Structure 1
């Protein structure tokens, strides 16, 4: 494995894992008060585009990082939308 690929995989691991605490926090507490739907919507779209880019290039670090990040960011987005929809129904 090239050194550049290893650096890419390490960077991808760090940035991707940074989303795990947010997902765990929402799942444990149900608190989505500080989540910006606009930010997560644009971010999730951007990550999806990076994933497509990585697939086109066949770049494993870009593919893996963006696939996992897309799943985690989409989870935050979906959990936030669901929670806020339920809160509106009960108001």
Structure 2
């Protein structure tokens, strides 16, 4: 069963890598939800804590790597959302 856990951890973590690389390189988050990434990032963090508590190396490794990939994307989405709001406020102020 341990091998099944490691295989699942490997597949789910490494399936995330191409999207993470693309998003971090391009900074294009137009199709990504801030709320979803906030929940995902917090959830991954809690899974990491759970893995540490259980001393489950598959959970620790998978969620540690995934957190390192998801957190920067969350920050990029947050930055882009704030920039879009500022631009909208500026446009509305200029239109008055």
Smaller-chain TM-score bracket: 0.7 to 0.9
TM-score by length of 2: 0.79
Question: 2:75 — aligned with what?
Answer: 78
**Runs of 5+ in structure 2 lacking a partner?**
89-96
Provide the alpha-carbon RMSD of the alignment: 1.5
Give 4+ residue runs of structure 1 displaced > 6 Å after superposition. Answer: none
Of the two, which has the highest radius of gyration?
Answer: 2
Cα deviations by residue, 1:28-76 (Å, 9 ceiling, x for unpaired): 3221101101011011111111111110110110111111111111121
Aligned length, in residue pairs: 88
Question: Which structure dedicates a bigger proportion of its chain to helix?
Answer: 2
Distance 1:44 1:65 in 2: 13
**Runs of 5+ in structure 1 lacking a partner?**
none
